[in-house]
Amino acid sequence: MNGLEARLATAARGRARHRMIRTAEPRPAGIDLASNDYLGLIRDPRLVAAAVTALQRYGTGAGASRVVTGTVPVHRELEDELAALTGQPAALVFASGYAANLGLLGSIGGPGTMIALDAHAHASLIDGARLSGAVVRFWPHNDLAALAELLGAADRRVVVVVESVYSVLGDAADLPRLAELCADRDATLVVDEAHGLGVTGAGHGSVWAAGLAGVGHVLVTASLSKALGAQGGVVLGSDRLREHLINTARTFVFDTGLAPAAAAAAAEACRIVRSEPERVAALRAVAEAIAAGWGRPVAAGAVQSLPAGSAGAAESVARQLTTEGVLVGCFRPPSVPDGISRIRLTARADLDPAMALGVARRVPALLAGAE
Ligand SMILES: Cc1ncc(COP(=O)(O)O)c(C=O)c1O
């Protein structure tokens, strides 16, 4: 066995569980309560038509980095739409939300900086912080007293990193208090709106809803692959920040630009979110139905999450529902930040609240039977 084979074999033996690549068929025949297509836009004919037009006009790929020949007019159109939707002065689009987080933290981090992340921050934020070369610290989830203590002891410039809505528990960050705390300590606040954009604040996002859009020390990132039903990522903030990223963000400079078809679809999605607030309200109604089915308060975003007694119980319930054509999220260690396994139901604007209520009601009983 060579070195690589030995490494793969050891890793496989030590793995708590094997991940599978899950194919989402039989969509749309089945009931999908697991994907991130929160507004039900992935198959919207308007997004598809915008993508087809861009395909015909620009071809299948950007062909180069945005700073070489990979920028086409639809990228600027998308950036204008995203800035308008979120109330921000400027936007810069990346090939994915992951790349946007790596790019932003890499270009504002570095050895003279401490990056302080909420313990539930997404992998892309953690990787971005580590790759930046900054001193990386974590503070307990949503514990602002612990964050204040960390900031008080900091001996260098600080960047605080949170998500507006967390993807596993579905809970929210207290953005007004975070922004105030960061302003007091002269720290920068980075808010990842991957699960807020298109969902909270009537679709404008949580930063907008908190009145923090365009506030100098509050920077925003988001994925375009969730509520917007497309692909790509964005950093939102001042024109100066945009200029800085164009010159320094490695995942912008050294990565092929976002495919024009994805950019066109995302731009169309931004227009739909702004013009159809009833779509965001429909998503909320489904989220409320799921929470009602569990007798729990509704979480801030689309994700509603119910703890399971064990990983085995969560797996067995997800498997049972899959056999009935209902896809639900099943989160187990090591993919959960606090070690607690969960069944996660994701609300979508194009689902019937009564149906979502019916599925939600069954989950606690199924879990009890599986434990
Ligand atoms: C909070 C958060 N940030 C960033 C990302 C990455 O976004 P993308 O899938 O567009 O790369 C995700 C995706 O799961 C996410 O949940």
Number of domains within the chain: 2
For the sheet with 326-331, list strands across it.
31-33, 326-331, 342-346, 303-307
Q: Are 151 and 226 part of one and the same domain?
A: yes
CATH number at residue 253: 3.40.640.10
Give pLDDT, residue 22. Answer: 65
Q: How far does the centroid of ligand 1 lie from the alpha carbon of residue 98, in Å?
A: 6
217 catalytically annotated:
no
247 catalytically annotated:
no
Of 161, 192, 223, 225, best ligand 1 pocket probe by most atoms within 8 Å of the beta carbon: 223
> In the structure, how many helices (H) and strands (E) does the chain have?
14, 11
315 catalytically annotated:
no
122 catalytically annotated:
yes
163 catalytically annotated:
yes
Q: Are 169 and 294 part of one and the same domain?
A: no
Q: Are 228 and 309 part of one and the same domain?
A: no
**Radius of gyration over alpha carbons of the chain, in Å?**
21
Give pLDDT, residue 26. Answer: 46
Nearest CA to ligand 1 atom 9: 97
Q: What are phi and psi of 113, to 5 degrees?
A: -125, 145
203: its two tokens? 């679709």
Residue type, 335: S
Residue 121 CA, closest ligand 1 atom number: 1
pLDDT tens digits in sequence order for the chain, 371 residues long? 788 888 888 888 776 666 666 666 544 568 999 999 999 999 999 999 999 999 999 999 999 999 999 999 999 999 999 999 999 999 999 999 999 999 999 999 999 999 999 999 999 999 999 999 999 999 999 999 999 999 999 999 999 999 999 988 899 999 999 999 999 999 999 999 999 999 999 999 999 999 999 999 999 999 999 999 999 999 999 999 999 999 999 999 999 999 999 999 999 999 999 999 999 999 999 999 999 999 999 999 999 999 999 999 999 999 999 999 999 999 998 878 888 999 999 999 999 999 999 999 999 999 998 87
Q: How far does the centroid of ligand 1 lie from the alpha carbon of residue 215, in Å?
A: 23
Q: Are 172 and 27 part of one and the same domain?
A: no
Task: Examine residue 73 and state whether it is found in any structural domain, yes or no.
Answer: yes
CATH number at residue 348: 3.90.1150.10
Domain that holds residue 298: 23-43+277-370
Give pLDDT, residue 18. Answer: 61
Which among 275, 290, 314 is the end of a domain?
275
178: its two tokens? 């975070």
3-state secondary structure of 52: helix
Q: How far does the centroid of ligand 1 lie from the alpha carbon of residue 48, in Å?
A: 22
167 lines ligand 1 (CB under 6 A): yes
Which among 242, 275, 308 is the end of a domain?
275
310 catalytically annotated:
no
Q: Model pTM? A: 0.94
Which among 275, 293, 327 is the end of a domain?
275
As beta bridge partners, residue 221 has 192, 235
Give the position of tokens 């100066």: 240
Q: How far does the centroid of ligand 1 lie from the alpha carbon of residue 198, in Å?
A: 14
